């Protein structure tokens, strides 16, 4: 529980004929992490004489191709699906997604799966390809019509047939627009090129002019070059004929027809999507699994007739893994189960009680612990919710967070493990915020006193007067610092244990044990002084502290004493619990005061009260919740982990099928 799961290393040698069945069985059972031995085979001369690196199977490329094709068709059909229920249903669907019903599938084997995939994809493509081609054709036509419509709209006030703008053997014509400010200068320079030129002009929007310029063919290039100098935007009128009004009417009519045709085609696609969607999603998952299974062969070694692989497995599941391998190879395999050796890069599988599982993600976010290190997940599971609740210290916001957590667990948490974990963390943290909020007198600030009993100073029922945050913030500070000292001592004890186990006695003495002696010495002296106990405790505590400081300087050197400031800083960091808790209540009180102020405004006040109250408390609650998560994590990552944690290991990643919508043989 306080250490990562003990691991065993499996070395498996089996006949080629059973390699697929062994790999498939391990893949479905999801209890081992396959270790890549291909590099070792290439670099180790002894291994190289016996084995050669294996390769991904010859089917991998085909499976990848089919996987991409299936994904493309699924995405294409998804775009054609009918959207029912509007935005509200979409939001509800997002918050509370439907759990997909798993479909039982056969273990077809690679060749049969490829054959089935080609059959399904061929049948679906046979139905969709024609429709897709029609859609592409009419989309292309619509783009051309929109372009023509755009040009015709811009030139609609000029009475000209677009066919007249085509270049002839003797004339050149250009249409476009130009900034109005440059028009006169252009005319002057155009006249210097030739007097055989006609310029039709019309004012347009945004200080521009629409121009149609016609000149003799021999001057066409010079005029075009001149136009480019004057920021002329060319309109492409090639292929257009008829007057603008006629083109606009024709284009709009045809675009409407195209929209209707496309709607009909999309309707047909929606029918196909409804018919094939589930089959395609199942096929996609099967192809994903089979591709993953075929790729893993590149991690193995092989001879002419045998296959060798290595894997890591938690000790608790080692017997199960051996049984699976023997069964799937009909006993034609040699299995060696060994303990990890010095220098092995052992994958870390955290093995915690169910209540602590959600907090494993915080440990992985930081870095998985070393194989012989203490796993801090249990401490996180116990103290993170408390720190989070302490940062909020408000029952109202705690209830809101707990409710959000329940929604996450019952909604997104059904299909997303991380959302479920976040929901559990919010619920436990919210409960601590409720407890601490009630005993320290904070429910949405002073909501109870100000709006329910009419006395802003009235305490919430359940308040313990000695820790009333508004009356005795010093008591909250003592609570925070006390928690900090205890948690730091726990961290030092774990650090001392880790160093002693690793044989680093000197580090244990200088980095943890000396500090523990100082804490004990100061504690004894403080107890004697503050509680009036025997003066022997005072002398004993002082002696312990002096011995610890001498030991500390002996191990770390004179400059090691500088660490004293760091340790004081670590402990004072826990004072943030007081600061954040008071800030939450203080801002909540400010919101309540604003509510009282706007409530005094005649008529409009009735509208403003709910806006200020709900908006203010939502903003404060969200901000303080976010701050609570960040600061509770910081107290662990920086102040607590800093006493003992090294981490840096790799996470155990099981060779697993990731079945979400399929099940194999009722599994």
Residues of the chain with pLDDT under 50: none
Strands 233-234 and 103-105: unpaired
- CA 359, 360, 362: angle at the middle one, nearest 5? 70
Q: What is the pLDDT of residue 603?
A: 86
- HEC string for 512-545: HHHHHHHHHHHHHHHHHHHHCCCHHHHHHHHHHH
Handedness of CA 124, 127, 129, 135 (dihedral sign): negative
Taking alpha carbons only, the member of 116, 104, 74 closest to residue 272 is 74
* Beta carbons within 8 Å of 537's beta carbon, 6+ residues apart: 524, 525, 527, 528
Q: What is the pLDDT of residue 236?
A: 83
Tokens 């023997």 locate to 326
Note whether 1-53+299-348+651-666 and 166-235 share their fold: yes
Strand, helix or coil for residue 660: coil
Q: Does domain 1-53+299-348+651-666 correspond to CATH entry 3.40.50.620?
A: no
Q: DSSP secondary-structure letter at 509?
A: I
Contact by Cβ (8 Å): 645, 369: yes
- Regarding the domain delimited by 166-235, which CATH topology (the fold level of the hierarchy) does it fall under? Alpha-Beta Plaits (3.30.70)
Distance separating alpha carbons of residues 145 and 151, to the nearest angstrom:
10
Q: What is the pLDDT of residue 410?
A: 93
At 81, which helix (H) or strand (E)? none
Q: What is the pLDDT of residue 374?
A: 92
Q: Please report, for the chain, the start and end positions of each structural domain, with discontinuous segments joined by +.
A: 1-53+299-348+651-666, 57-144+244-281, 166-235, 355-457+473-504+559-641
Q: What six digits make up the tokens of 625?
A: 């919740």
Distance separating alpha carbons of residues 216 and 120, to the nearest angstrom:
63
Tokens 């890549």 locate to 36
Contact by Cβ (8 Å): 441, 470: yes
Burial of 112 (0-12, 13-18, 19+ CB in 10 A): exposed
* Beta carbons within 8 Å of 275's beta carbon, 6+ residues apart: none
Neighbours of 232 (CB within 10 A): 20
Give the pTM: 0.80
CA 652 to chain centre: 20
At 640, which helix (H) or strand (E)? none
The CB-side HSE value for 132 (13 A sphere, CA atoms) comes to 14
Q: What is the pLDDT of residue 261?
A: 94
Tens digits of residue pLDDT in 87-137:
777 788 888 888 888 899 988 889 999 999 999 999 999 999 999 999 999
Distance separating alpha carbons of residues 368 and 376, to the nearest angstrom:
10
Q: DSSP secondary-structure letter at 371?
A: T
Distance separating alpha carbons of residues 543 and 549, to the nearest angstrom:
10
Contact by Cβ (8 Å): 297, 23: yes
Q: What is the pLDDT of residue 322?
A: 96
Q: What is the pLDDT of residue 157?
A: 79
Distance separating alpha carbons of residues 593 and 445, to the nearest angstrom:
10
Q: What six digits make up the tokens of 418?
A: 């991380």
**Direct distance between the N- and C-terminal alpha carbons of the chain, in angstroms, rounded to an integer:** 28
Strand, helix or coil for residue 282: helix
- Tell me the β-bridge partners of 214: 173, 198
* Beta carbons within 8 Å of 427's beta carbon, 6+ residues apart: 401, 402, 405, 406, 409
Q: Which residues of 253-263 are buried (b: 16+ CB within 10 A; e: fewer)?
A: ebbeebeebee
Strands 171-179 and 208-216: antiparallel
Burial of 94 (0-12, 13-18, 19+ CB in 10 A): exposed
């Amino acid at each position: 529980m306080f250490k990562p799961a003990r691991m065993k290393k499996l070395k498996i040698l089996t006949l080629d004929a059973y390699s697929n069945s062994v790999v498939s069985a391990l893949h479905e059972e999801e209890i081992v992490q396959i270790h890549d031995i291909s590099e070792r085979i290439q670099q180790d001369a002894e291994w190289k004489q016996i084995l050669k690196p294996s390769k991904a199977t010859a089917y991998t490329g085909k499976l990848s191709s089919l996987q991409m094709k299936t994904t493309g068709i699924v995405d294409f059909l998804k775009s054609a699906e009918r959207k029912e229920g509007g935005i509200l249903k979409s939001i509800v669907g997002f918050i509370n997604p439907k759990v997909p019903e798993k479909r039982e599938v056969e273990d077809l084997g690679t060749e049969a799966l490829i054959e089935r995939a080609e059959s399904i994809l061929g049948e679906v493509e046979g139905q969709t390809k024609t429709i897709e081609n029609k859609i592409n054709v009419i989309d292309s036509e619509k783009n051309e019509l929109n372009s023509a419509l755009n040009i015709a709209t811009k030139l609609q006030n000029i009475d000209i047939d677009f066919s007249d703008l085509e270049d002839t053997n003797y004339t050149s014509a250009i249409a476009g627009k130009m900034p109005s400010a440059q028009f006169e200068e252009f005319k002057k320079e155009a006249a210097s090129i030739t007097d055989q030129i006609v310029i039709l002009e019309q004012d347009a929007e945004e200080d521009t002019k629409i121009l149609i310029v016609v000149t003799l063919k021999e001057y066409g290039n010079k005029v075009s070059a001149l136009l480019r100098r004057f920021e002329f935007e060319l309109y492409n009128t090639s292929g257009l004929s008829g007057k603008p009004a006629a083109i606009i009417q024709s284009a709009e009519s045809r675009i409407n027809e195209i929209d209707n045709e496309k709607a009909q085609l999309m309707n047909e696609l929606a029918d196909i999507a409804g018919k094939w969607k589930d089959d395609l999603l199942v096929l996609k998952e099967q192809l994903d699994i089979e591709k993953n299974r075929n790729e893993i062969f590149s991690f193995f070694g092989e001879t002419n007739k045998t296959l060798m692989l290595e894997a890591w497995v938690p000790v608790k599941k080692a017997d199960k893994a051996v049984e699976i391998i023997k069964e799937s190879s009909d006993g034609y395999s040699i299995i060696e189960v060994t303990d990890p050796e010095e220098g092995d890069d052992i994958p870390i599988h955290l093995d915690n009680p169910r209540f602590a599982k959600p907090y494993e993600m915080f440990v992985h976010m930081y870095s998985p612990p070393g194989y012989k290190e203490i796993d801090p997940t249990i401490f996180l599971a116990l103290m993170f919710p408390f720190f989070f609740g302490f940062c909020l210290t408000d029952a109202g916001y705690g209830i809101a967070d707990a409710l959000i957590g329940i929604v996450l667990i019952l909604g997104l948490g059904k299909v997303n493990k991380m959302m479920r974990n976040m929901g559990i963390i919010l619920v436990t943290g919210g409960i601590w915020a409720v407890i601490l909020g009630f005993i320290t007198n904070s429910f949405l600030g002073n909501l109870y006193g100000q709006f329910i009993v009419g006395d802003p100073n009235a305490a919430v029922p359940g308040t313990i007067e000695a820790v009333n945050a508004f009356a005795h913030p010093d008591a909250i500070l003592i609570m925070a610092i006390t928690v900090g000292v205890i948690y730091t001592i726990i961290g030092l004890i774990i650090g001392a244990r880790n160093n002693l186990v690793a044989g680093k006695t000197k580090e244990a003495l200088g980095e943890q044990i000396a500090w523990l002696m100082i804490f004990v010495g100061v504690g004894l002296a403080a107890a004697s002084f503050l509680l009036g106990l025997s003066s022997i405790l005072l002398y004993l505590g002082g002696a312990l502290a002096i011995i610890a400081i001498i030991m500390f300087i002996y191990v770390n050197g004179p400059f090691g004493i500088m660490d004293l400031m760091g340790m004081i800083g670590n402990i004072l960091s826990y004072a943030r619990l007081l600061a954040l808790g008071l800030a939450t209540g203080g801002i909540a009180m400010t919101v309540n005061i604003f509510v009282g102020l706007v409530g005094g405004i005649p008529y409009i006040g009735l509208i403003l009260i709910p806006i200020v109250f709900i908006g203010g408390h939502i903003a404060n609650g969200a901000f303080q919740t976010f701050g609570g998560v960040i600061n509770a994590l910081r107290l662990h990552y920086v102040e607590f982990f800093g006493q003992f944690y090294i981490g840096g290991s790799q996470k155990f990643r099981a060779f697993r099928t990731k079945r979400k919508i399929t099940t194999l043989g009722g599994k």
